[in-house]
Amino acid sequence: MAAGLIEGGIVGSLIAELQTFVIDVAVKNIYFKSELESLKETLQSIEPNFRDIEKYNKVLDRAEKTEAFIDLLNKGKKLVQRCSTIGSWNVVNKYRYSDKLNEYNADLGRFCQVKVQLEQLGDIKEILVKVNRVNDVLDHAMGGSFVGGFGEDRELMDRVFGLDLPLVELKEMVLLKDSSVVLLSAPGGCGKTTLAKLLCRDPKIQGIYKKNIFFVTVSKMASITIIVQNQFQTKSGKGQYEKEDEALMQLKCFLEKKRETGPILLVLDDVWPEGEPIIRKFRFNIEGFKILVTSRSVLPSINRFTYRLNPLNEQDAMSLFDHSAFPADSKSSYVPYPEIVKKIVENCNGFPLALIVVGQSLCGRPEVTWKITLDKWSKGQSILDSSSDLLDKLQTSVDALDEIKDKPDLKNCYLDLGSFPEDQRIPAIALHDMWVELYNLDEEDMYTYEYLEELAMRNLVNLVPTSIGASNLHDYCNGQYVTQHDLLRELAIYLSNQEPIELRKRVILEITDNKLPKWWVEKGQEPINARLLSISTDEAFSLSLDSIQVPKVEVLILNSRTKNYSLPLFVQEPGQLKVLIIANYGGCPAELNNFSEVDYLSNLKRIRFEHVSISSLSTSLVKLSKLQKMSLIMCEIGKAFENCINMFPDLVEIEIAYCADLVGFPVELCNIGHLKKLSITECNELSALPEALGALTSLEVLRLHSCTKLERLPESIGNLHKLKSLDISDCVSLSKMPVRMGELCDLRTLCMSGCWGLSELPHSIEDLHQPLKVICDDQNANLWRLLDYPPAKLELLVVEEAKNLNWLHRSL
């Protein structure tokens, strides 16, 4: 979230939110009415004081010391939320939580009377001490209140070298009165984004722009409508924009309103030459509005105020390399000769990314590895294939993948990462689906995860989990996302393109402004023998791709921003295409126009749709008789499965996540006799499962994680005698478990943390008597302790779920 998008103080907002929640629960649950009324009065009495404190902190530009109070307010919200789930029949919990509410009310009063007064007194004395200090001495500091999405970059901030002077010079240029747009330009890997974020954190910049700093990643295929929609629609009150002019008008209105609170700084990060028109259209005539652009290229329209970031000097390069190759916590006993280190650093040519990647790849390695690295470089390999020599030296890290004998296809797996759009997180489970078919990896996703871990260890990718806790302990790739630095993605594409087009294993095609690559026109009807074909298009795409022939393609990846999408009608041999991935990165779900017309889909084994409307499935005449897995992520499902009784005879796995219109699980899918895995997660409108679910007698894994409106499980679940793993974690509305739970004779893992609505477990569970791992929170652990389950066969693992929603961010 960009700084400036949060209106008002955090504490004041939390107090108001808690008040609203208390009032709502008091109306719905009369059993705690008196206690909640007392809590409401306390909150009403302290809110004006905290509003004043936050107002004065904003005027004084002071940081708020509110961590403890925020924790106390969040504790109150959890407590009230728990009370909302306690019914009249639960007498024990009613008295228990009545006491807890009274205790919490008293704690809140004591906190405000003692701790807050002491902190205010300390603040007053601190202000008196600092009032005569000169603020300019903070120009080189790296503190600040900018909240523009540093997240994962905070670790990077701790290893910044050689940017002190560039920060001062860039800041001077930004603060020039007539520099309405400033360009920060450098080749990839030089630290442009890091320097821009340091600027946003600089105290002097924050003192001028305060909360009106906005940081937007643009990338190569961005459009004005998508940028405005995804970055500003929440506060502007608008939804989807049909036209560019409408989006620009709304953005201007939004910025004009923000200008009333002070000057505005908009950072447009990673702008390609194709995005230069976006900059021109964002140059609104608003006093005090300034734009900072970062780009790998020099943009002619901003030539006057261009700051070129140079590579690091020898001293800073050595410092950065030492930080990466010899970290303080390293246990390596080998330290190379200074001359070897010097030659390695010299070959990195001062490029920060090269120094970090090479340094970390050599960290802890024996002497022979250092010497081999230098020997390869001496024989013609370079850091970059173009002007800066970075590309080929990064290639050394990729070539080393061939030496890992127990992972023979690891290099190919790395090169496949270039098939996904720039600046987008790649679902690890999507990579698993590809690699199972392309390289015969085992169906168990732990083998794919091992490949990704190897790549992450070699600093070629980053693994980003969406959560840490119960829901991922029995799956490796589910809930994991892969990110890459842009330069490493370029490296994968570069290496994939070394052979002639007709001989390439993978073809990666990016189409912008309906411009086909030259080779496409030249090849005409000549077949391309790639096993993987990736096509990325922008929202203006309207071409037909039917002329090309890809007879041996096994994996087809379509990345689109268009509202309506037609599958290419390739001429190919039957039975080749095994995996189809369609991901839409536009503002609304894409419509598939011709799904029922494409006959080459009949032999598919895996389908993955992201942000796609799949209603056309109901009219499809194509029988997906070999389909084994179907994944629907953020899709519009509608009535897609009304006529699908015989459409998926061999389906063994269904994954549905973040599908907002899924109210009930389609009964038609309960007729799939071979289904082994059913995953329905984060579908917050799902309220019930049909009794027909019991017909899925082959089911081994059932995941219902974070289906917050799910109120019950069908009693027919007792028919699932092969069920080994059940995940109902964070199903907060689930009030009871099926009586027939005791019939799940093969159950081995039960994840149920965050099931706050459960007050008891069915005694039939005592009949299971097989070894059972239960992953839950403290509250539900107590329910298990009340059962007469054989202690020797019950493993209680108490965890706290910690979610990370960074994956939801779509960098544009």
Model pLDDT for residues 453-471, shown as the tens digit of each residue = 888 877 678 888 875 443 4
> How confident is the model at residue 727, as a pLDDT?
94
- Domain co-membership, 272 together with 315: no
> How confident is the model at residue 484, as a pLDDT?
82
pLDDT at residue 51 is higher than 80: no
648 occurs within a structural domain: no
pLDDT at residue 101 is higher than 60: yes
Task: Give me the residue label for tokens 């007050």.
Answer: 759
- Domain co-membership, 195 together with 272: yes
Are 31 and 88 spatial neighbours (Cβ–Cβ below 8 Å)? yes
455 occurs within a structural domain: no
- 743 versus 473: the higher-pLDDT residue is 743
- Domain co-membership, 219 together with 257: yes
Q: Which residues are bridge partners to 294 per DSSP?
A: 184
> How confident is the model at residue 186, as a pLDDT?
81
Q: Which residues are bridge partners to 794 per DSSP?
A: 772
Give the least confident one: 2-16, 66-80, 435-449, 771-785.
2-16
Task: Give me the residue label for tokens 């629960």.
Answer: 25
- Domain co-membership, 20 together with 155: no
Tell me the backbone φ, ψ of residue 299, rounded to 5 degrees: -100, 120
pLDDT at residue 1 is higher than 50: no
pTM assigned to the model: 0.64
- DSSP run (H or E) holding 611: none
Which amino acid appears at position 301 of this protein?
A: S
- Domain co-membership, 287 together with 397: no
Structural domains counted in the chain: 4
pLDDT at residue 794 is higher than 90: no
* Helix ranges (DSSP H) in 215-243: 224-236
> 348, 370, 403 — which closes off a domain?
403
Residue 8, sorted as left (phi over 0), alpha (psi -120 to 50) or beta, turns out to be: left
> How confident is the model at residue 115, as a pLDDT?
53
> How confident is the model at residue 426, as a pLDDT?
92
> How confident is the model at residue 140, as a pLDDT?
28
- Domain co-membership, 198 together with 300: yes
- Domain co-membership, 89 together with 142: no
| Residue 412 banded pLDDT, cuts 50, 70, 90 | very high
| Residue 679 banded pLDDT, cuts 50, 70, 90 | very high
Selection from 255, 258, 299 nearest residue 275 by Cα: 299
- Domain co-membership, 676 together with 738: yes
Long-range CB contacts for residues 622-625, cutoff 8 Å, separation at least 24:
622/595, 622/596, 622/598, 623/647, 624/648, 624/651, 625/649, 625/650
Give the least confident one: 169-178, 372-381, 599-608.
372-381
**Residue pLDDT, tens place only, 251-306:** 888 888 888 888 999 999 888 777 788 888 888 988 989 999 998 777 778 878 88
Selection from 120, 102, 108 nearest residue 45 by Cα: 108
**Mean pLDDT in residue range 637-653:** 83
- State the average pLDDT for the chain: 78
| Residue 394 banded pLDDT, cuts 50, 70, 90 | low
CB atoms within 10 A of CB 725: 20
Give the least confident one: 67-76, 525-534, 723-732.
67-76
558 occurs within a structural domain: no
Tell me the backbone φ, ψ of residue 499, rounded to 5 degrees: -90, 160
Which amino acid appears at position 397 of this protein?
A: S
| Residue 556 banded pLDDT, cuts 50, 70, 90 | very high
**Mean pLDDT in residue range 309-316:** 87
CATH code of 333's domain: 1.10.8.430
- Domain co-membership, 95 together with 173: no
Full residue range of the structural domain in which residue 711 is found = 666-812
- State what percent of residues in the chain have pLDDT above 70: 79
> How confident is the model at residue 290, as a pLDDT?
92
605 occurs within a structural domain: no
User: CA triplet 238, 240, 246: central angle to 5 degrees?
Assistant: 70
